[in-house]
Structure 1
Amino acid sequence: MSDPAPLKAVFFDRDGVLNVDSGYLHDPARLEWIPGAREAIAALTAAGVRSIVVTNQSGVARGYYGEDAVHALHAHMQGELAVLGGAIAAFYHCPFHKDAVVEAYRCDDHPDRKPNPGMILRGLAEQGLSAQDCVLVGDNDSDVEAARRAGMQGFLFEGGDLLAFLRERLGPRFPPAPGNGTAA
Structure 2
Amino acid sequence: MGSSVTSKLRAVLFDRDGTLVVDVPYNGDPDRVQPMPGAKEVLDALRAEGIATGVISNQSGIARGMISADDVASVNARVEELLGPFDVWEVCPHAEQDGCTCRKPAPGMVHSACRKLGIPEAGAALIGDIGADVKAAEAAGATGILVPTPVTLAAEVAEAELVAQDLAGAVRLLQERR
TM-score clears 0.5: yes
2:50 maps to a residue whose letter is G
Higher RCO structure, 1 or 2 (CA under 8 Å, sep 6+):
1
Shift of 1:6: 2.0
Question: Per-residue CA shift, 1:114-172, capped at 9, x if unaligned?
Answer: 111111111111110111111111111111111111011101111453223322x2234
Q: Does the 8 A contact of 2:127 with 2:170 survive in 1? A: no
Q: Aligned AA for 1:94? A: C
Q: Hey, what does 1:46 align to over in structure 2? A: 48
1:14-68 CA-to-partner distances (Å, cap 9, x unmatched) read 1111011121122111111111111111111111101111100011111111001
Please give the TM-score of this superposition, normalised by the length of structure 2. 0.83
User: What is the RMSD computed on CA atoms of the aligned residues?
Assistant: 1.8
Q: Point out where structure 2 has 5 or more consecutive residues left out of the alignment.
A: 150-164
Q: Which residue of 1 aligns with 2:8?
A: 6
- Give the count of matched residue pairs: 160
Task: Look up the match of 2:94.
Answer: 96
**CA 1:3–1:26: 2 relative to 1, 3 Å:** farther
SS of residue paired to 1:91: strand
Are 1:166 and 2:156 matched, yes or no?
A: no
Unaligned runs of 5+ in 1: 100-106, 175-184
Distance in 2 of aligned mates of 1:129 and 1:70: 26
CA contact (8 A) 2:22 2:34 kept: yes
Counterpart mapping for 1:33-182 below 5 A: 33-82=35-84, 87-98=85-96, 107=98, 109-159=99-149, 161-167=166-172, 169-172=173-176
Q: Check whether the contact 1:34–1:161 (CA below 8 A) recurs between aligned residues.
A: no
> How far apart are residue 81 of structure 1 and its match?
2.1
How many percent of aligned residue pairs carry the same amino acid? 38
TM-score by length of 1: 0.80
Larger Rg: 1
- Cα distance in 1 for partners of 2:11, 2:171 equals 12
Match of 2:160 in 1: none
